Structure 1
Amino acid sequence: MTRIVWFRRDLRLADQAALAAAARQGPVIPVYILDDETPRHRRMGAASRWWLHHSLSRLAGDLAARGSRLILRRGPAAETLAALMAETGATGIDALHHYEPWWLNAEKALAKALAETGTPLALHHGNYLAPPGSILTGSGSPYRIYTPFWRALVQTMPPPPPRPAPERLAAPDSWPASDRIEDWGLLPTAPDWAGGLRATWQPGEAGAAARLDSFVRLAARYGEARNLPSVEGTSRLSPHLHFGEISPATVWHRLADAGGSVDTFLGELGWRDYAQNVILQMPEYGRRNARPAFDAFPWRMRDDPAVAADFTAWTKGMTGYPIVDAGMRQLWATGWMHNRVRMIAASFLIKHLLIDWREGEAWFWDTLVDADYGSNAVNWQWTAGTGVDSNMFVRIMAPLTQSDKFDAAGYIRQWVPELAGLSDSQIHDPAGLFVRGYPRKLIDHRAARERALAAHESIKP
């Protein structure tokens, strides 16, 4: 009764329902397939691929410690798994449900291929607090607005208690051949730009547990500290949750009784569930405006050299707005950006520069270690005002005011060192000061605001 366990964004052994189900039946063949064909333009970005390399290496070590192996293959997932079934004589495949449109398509294709041979694909839940699509309104329809969704989700909490990792895993009589992860070319080499990522992160299940241990001491103050970029107040669990190195149920049960403002954090864990429910309803949310009126919005297009230069300045953290530049440089160096600064930087691209939110979403997809299709798309559409649940476009964030309000001076000094010598009163807005190497503002805030409002007015009926 050998079973294949198909790992994707669930790279853990604890509270892993697919692994547990397979292990109860006998020998297990754990498999990860690097599939760039099925997602097509949604193949993992460079930062995610760096993380994947290290996460898979740690998972392989954790499996070896339990008498097992991680088999690596490359190619279209459904075809590769069907071939592996024939090669190994396995009696079925266990996997966790995934809800990105390409994975739903792969699951359907695989289930069809296996049905022709009479072998089952068993899909289990465990990557979210509740199975996406299961939280419904009184009329039985899925929610599109976060607040009522969250209220309904909370009524189903807590999630089932997390289960420990198996101590041993039964091995098959023979192991299929495996790729070498070093041959996949997931790590940058020319140049090696990942030094900041290595200094910042510890991918893998142990790293996720250590990050949670650190956050437990801060969780009660989360509501106040999360908005302060200069303070270590966020959990930094997002990449670990994205790659499934820790289950949301584990996080919930560890933190639910922390007191203070931990409910604010739990609500953000719920936002992750909400984002998956949105893409389950609207699979193309990452590339289509949820509000059709914005299809006629007069975005400045990047085929204009001036617009292209503005976009490049934004990506490099050279806009002349210190809080925006600090965030973009933190992103480039570490693959992550503080959550408050993400909103400011995204709003700046959309409303100050009038560049389509999809351009920013694509940049984040490539540079974030926590680049999650649902969360990335929902957050960008929220900021742009184009989403089913979103901020109004006419609410335009003032970066200079936000920087001062949330005491970002220390954060700016860390990531924009050419401004480090300025006083707290100057550093948020160094306009009028000559600072060697630091640019002038791409556009004045007032002029940007007026331009954005005029653009929005043009699509009003």
Structure 2
Amino acid sequence: MPDTAILWFRRDLRLDDNPALSRAMAECERVLLLYIHAPAEESPWAPGAAARWWLHGSLRALDHDLRERGSRLLIATGESLAVLARISAQTGAARVYWNRLYDPATRARDAHIKLALRAQGLRCESHNAALLREPWDLLTGTGSPYKVYSAFWRKASSDLSGLAANAPLPAPAGLKRPPAVDTPVQVELDALGLLPRIPWDQGLAARWQPGESAALARARCFIGGAPDAPPPGTAALDGYAQGRDLPGQPGTSSLSPHLHFGEIGPRRLLALIEQRYGSITAPAAEAFVRELGWREFAHHLLYHFPHTTTTPLDPRFARFPWRTADAAALLAAWQRGHTGVPLVDAGMRELWHTGWMHNRVRMVVASYLTKNLRLPWQAGADWFWDTLVDADLAANTLGWQWIAGCGADAAPYFRVFNPVRQGERFDPRGDYVRRWCPELARVPDRFIHQPWAAPTAILGSAGVVLGRDYPHPLVDLARSRLEALAAFDSIKTA
């Protein structure tokens, strides 16, 4: 058996169902567990501020878990290939294992590293820890990538029982003794500077607990069936199909940041669902499993169309007439949650305070930016990238292009979400709006989503003067919708 291997952690910060880790433990006497901080190698999509906050907590939790099992996490900085080559030479490591990433920059980097290390005589192996299916495994009958989710998921889910049979690997009970390393590239976690210098992160700390243990606990609570989970019929997954659309209620899984950083994997989630319901095709789980499929679809698109991080998949939208007048001021108002549209403002304030936003509201605020304000979707994607703890390049790209109408699976018509109707339907009592826009707390339910329509006397009795306590709307919703449709008409036959 070879003496020493390097396990290179990236966005797979867990021990459970970690195929690269399991392989290294099975094949080598000693395994050095390494994380290399090299954000420049992910440029232009290095982690944003909220994601860096999460990464700090996740690395700290991982090191704690490793130490409990007799090992530790070595953190290094520098160019990844140089670090790997240097540490392998110092320790005599003959093998390097990692789990794959699918972003364009990291794919290119990893391919280069694999070739270079193999040329130096090292054995390099990469594995799949992030997805149920590899992006290159699913193609249409003509051999092309999918661009429509329904067709993609029909193919991907044709053998869900087979996916369930691909059981997740258990976390190792103990870890093999790591080799001694004394290298200038080694640093302490705090030296990475991931936490903000100005303490704006109190809301994130109150809302989230990064790390594998927290991810597993959250998954068990959401899915149910575990000893410490809610009683049967009360777990969020039981009512997920309806509850996921209600921002004022805790109806979503809140697993997206844990999935992004690899603190839990989709195979483990399917296994927990099967354990709870006896089958991953159980009706109660169908809507959530489809959401896992949407995540797979996002990675499928990013792999096959890497240019879409900044360029519309539909080339007609390269000519779309985005607004230029007052664009900077309108964007800033949207970012701060000062648009004068309560559901939009509530979502943007939730995002700033917690690093997360309810998925239904994400669609609404994105539609408002790209359709009512007619500002480029790339500006919204950039803001989400910096402020979301679950900022994921595949999901962010797919979501923004879908809402803008320029990406895959776009509607056959130019969809414009009406934020008033969305609020009345999914937040009928205004619980969500009142939480994040407390200045509107006393506005009656029938005006909570459109305070500009309320008589002055009613607003006055609620302690609200528009323009003083809460902004006037930036734009007229009906007129801006017509302007967006006209803008689309100008390019749809181009």
The equivalent of 1:153 in structure 2 is: 156
Distance 1:176 1:69, change over 3 A: farther
Say which SS state the counterpart of residue 261 (structure 1) adopts: helix
Aligned counterpart in structure 1 of residue 190 of structure 2, from 132, 157, 182: 182
Aligned counterpart in structure 1 of residue 438 of structure 2, from 417, 432, 453: 417
The equivalent of 1:447 in structure 2 is: 479
Say which SS state the counterpart of residue 285 (structure 1) adopts: helix
User: Contact between 1:384 and 1:391, CA under 8 Å: does it hold in 2?
Assistant: no
* Percent of pairs with identical residues: 43
Say which SS state the counterpart of residue 76 (structure 2) adopts: strand
User: Contact between 1:226 and 1:233, CA under 8 Å: does it hold in 2?
Assistant: yes
User: Contact between 2:31 and 2:179, CA under 8 Å: does it hold in 1?
Assistant: no
1:339 is the counterpart of 2:359:
yes
The equivalent of 1:211 in structure 2 is: 218
The equivalent of 1:242 in structure 2 is: 260
How is 1:22-421 mapped onto 2 (pairs within 5 angstroms)? 22-25=24-27, 26-157=29-160, 158-159=163-164, 160-177=166-183, 178-190=186-198, 192-216=199-223, 217-256=235-274, 258=277, 259-301=282-324, 304=325, 306-392=326-412, 394-407=414-427, 409-421=430-442
Say which SS state the counterpart of residue 33 (structure 2) adopts: strand
Distance 1:134 1:345, change over 3 A: same
Deviates more, 1:66-75 or 1:433-442: 433-442
The equivalent of 2:470 in structure 1 is: 438
Once the two structures are TM-superposed, the CA of residue 74 in structure 1 deviates from its matched residue by 1.4
User: Contact between 1:289 and 1:295, CA under 8 Å: does it hold in 2?
Assistant: yes
The equivalent of 2:462 in structure 1 is: none
Deviates more, 1:157-166 or 1:168-177: 168-177
Counterparts of 1:31 and 1:176 in 2: how far apart (Å)? Answer: 13
Once the two structures are TM-superposed, the CA of residue 84 in structure 1 deviates from its matched residue by 2.1
The equivalent of 2:232 in structure 1 is: none
1:359-383 CA-partner distances (Å, limit 9, x unpaired): 0000000000000000100010000
User: Contact between 2:220 and 2:272, CA under 8 Å: does it hold in 1?
Assistant: no
> What stretches of structure 1 move > 6 A for 4+ residues in a row?
none
1:208-258 CA-partner distances (Å, limit 9, x unpaired): 011112211111211111101111100000000000000100111212454
User: Contact between 2:12 and 2:18, CA under 8 Å: does it hold in 1?
Assistant: yes
User: Contact between 2:381 and 2:396, CA under 8 Å: does it hold in 1?
Assistant: yes
Distance 1:173 1:407, change over 3 A: closer
User: Contact between 1:385 and 1:392, CA under 8 Å: does it hold in 2?
Assistant: no
Say which SS state the counterpart of residue 41 (structure 1) adopts: coil
1:39 maps to a residue whose letter is: E
Once the two structures are TM-superposed, the CA of residue 173 in structure 1 deviates from its matched residue by 3.8
1:156-213 CA-partner distances (Å, limit 9, x unpaired): 32241112110111113423443111111100122x1100000000100011011112
1:394-425 CA-partner distances (Å, limit 9, x unpaired): 22111001100112510001101100111211
Counterparts of 2:310 and 2:412 in 1: how far apart (Å)? Answer: 19
User: Contact between 1:349 and 1:355, CA under 8 Å: does it hold in 2?
Assistant: yes
User: Contact between 1:23 and 1:170, CA under 8 Å: does it hold in 2?
Assistant: yes
Counterparts of 2:344 and 2:250 in 1: how far apart (Å)? Answer: 18
Q: Which runs of 5+ in 2 are unaligned?
A: 224-234, 460-464
Give the length in aligned residue pairs.
457
Once the two structures are TM-superposed, the CA of residue 393 in structure 1 deviates from its matched residue by 6.0
Counterparts of 1:393 and 1:298 in 2: how far apart (Å)? Answer: 18
Once the two structures are TM-superposed, the CA of residue 260 in structure 1 deviates from its matched residue by 4.4
Deviates more, 1:394-403 or 1:343-352: 394-403
Say which SS state the counterpart of residue 122 (structure 1) adopts: strand
Counterparts of 1:427 and 1:174 in 2: how far apart (Å)? Answer: 62
1:137 maps to a residue whose letter is: T
Deviates more, 1:393-402 or 1:129-138: 129-138
1:40 maps to a residue whose letter is: S
Aligned counterpart in structure 1 of residue 9 of structure 2, from 7, 10, 13: 7
TM-score by length of 1: 0.96
Once the two structures are TM-superposed, the CA of residue 392 in structure 1 deviates from its matched residue by 4.9
Counterparts of 2:400 and 2:103 in 1: how far apart (Å)? Answer: 17
Deviates more, 1:74-83 or 1:285-294: 74-83
Say which SS state the counterpart of residue 302 (structure 2) adopts: helix
1:10 maps to a residue whose letter is: D
Counterparts of 2:62 and 2:182 in 1: how far apart (Å)? Answer: 18
1:458 is the counterpart of 2:490:
yes
User: Contact between 1:9 and 1:242, CA under 8 Å: does it hold in 2?
Assistant: yes
Say which SS state the counterpart of residue 20 (structure 1) adopts: helix
User: Contact between 2:95 and 2:124, CA under 8 Å: does it hold in 1?
Assistant: yes
Counterparts of 1:455 and 1:410 in 2: how far apart (Å)? Answer: 35
User: Contact between 1:32 and 1:73, CA under 8 Å: does it hold in 2?
Assistant: yes
RMSD of aligned residue pairs (Cα, Å)? 1.4
Counterparts of 1:107 and 1:323 in 2: how far apart (Å)? Answer: 42
Once the two structures are TM-superposed, the CA of residue 13 in structure 1 deviates from its matched residue by 0.3
The equivalent of 2:230 in structure 1 is: none
User: Contact between 2:33 and 2:178, CA under 8 Å: does it hold in 1?
Assistant: no
1:27 maps to a residue whose letter is: R
User: Contact between 1:220 and 1:261, CA under 8 Å: does it hold in 2?
Assistant: yes
Counterparts of 1:54 and 1:287 in 2: how far apart (Å)? Answer: 29
1:353 maps to a residue whose letter is: L
